[in-house]
Amino acid sequence: MFDLIREFPDHLQEALTIGRNAKLSAPGGPFNHVVVTGLGGSGIGGRIAAQAAADEANCPIDVYSNYYLPAYVGKGSLVIACSYSGNTEETLAAMHEALSRGARVVCITSGGAMLDMARAKSLDHIVIPGGNPPRSMLAYSLTQQFFVLKHFGIIKGDFETSIDNAAARLRAEQAGIKDAAKQLAEHLHGHRTVIYSEASTEAVGIRFRQQLNENSKELCWHHAIPEMNHNELVGWAGGNDQLAVVIFRHEDDHARCQVRMEINKEVFAKYTPHIHEVWSKGLDRLERQLYLVHLGDWASWYLAELKGVDATEIGVINMLKGKLAEMK
């Protein structure tokens, strides 16, 4: 896992090459909406892409992580099915449903049943490198989401430059990012982590939660501002010094949300001294999001090291999949 996290900048640049060489058919359209279906390490790329593209997308982009799709999916829908292994049963079920309703389906996968189906039905698909934990291949699935959105006319911006710049920055600043992540892990060790961000960065908060779950074997939770100011902030009356707060921040977060964050910190400080802000770096929003993703990934690995747990092991998930397979 150490090597896979370290190689994230290289993955981003290789993913750009894959996307540029992808052979997709004529876009058709226009589309009324986009639905991304995927789970875990395969689905989080869609969530990050949907938030990053929200300011320029010409139609809604929704993410569904289940066996089914919303009722509005049908003709006029673009469905992006993302399964790293190609065998995620929930995503395959949603993909079958999309096809049965006449939606346009595009697949992002490394192989498995999804790739077999895509080839058999002549569906557009992009093949990404296989053989690694899905959560470590985010660069590939995320980048291909942008290529698909642009090919089908949902976005028009120059995301390639943003990703290329992010890869260069992450590579150049790797040592500093690792140091910051190690310090963050040391602060989090022995505490329950609570992750906050502005709503437009919530997907990155989810990514960090997932990485702490899988790499660090930690229970934690996340919420977004301003929504948490209307419910969870009251719950802090039950807070204590066993909680450690991480706030992901950008200099261009909404001005009123920045005010809220400062007030929130005053509330948190009544119950715990463990409050840690992580500021992004980058020339634009997408680059800054990728900076936070990378720092969070490193923090999850360092926390696993401090706990003495195997960052790669996911035995309980494999057990669950095995039992489900027995019940087919």
As annotated, the active-site residues are 214, 230, 321
Q: List the one residue out of 207, 231, 217 whose CA is nearest residue 289.
A: 207
* Inter-residue contact 12 to 147 (CB < 8 Å): no
Q: List the one residue out of 204, 206, 236 whose CA is nearest residue 221.
A: 206
User: What does the alpha-carbon distance between residue 176 and residue 170 come to, in Å, rounded to a whole number?
Assistant: 9
Complete edge-to-edge strand list for the sheet that includes strand 275-279: 220-225, 192-198, 243-249, 275-279
Q: List the one residue out of 85, 121, 67, 292 whose CA is nearest residue 202.
A: 292
User: What does the alpha-carbon distance between residue 228 and residue 197 come to, in Å, rounded to a whole number?
Assistant: 10
Print burial letters for 242-277: b (CB count within 10 Å at least 16), e (below 16).
ebbbbbbbbeebeeebeebbeebeeebeebbebbee
User: CB 125: neighbour CB atoms within 10 A?
Assistant: 22
User: What does the alpha-carbon distance between residue 217 and residue 210 come to, in Å, rounded to a whole number?
Assistant: 10
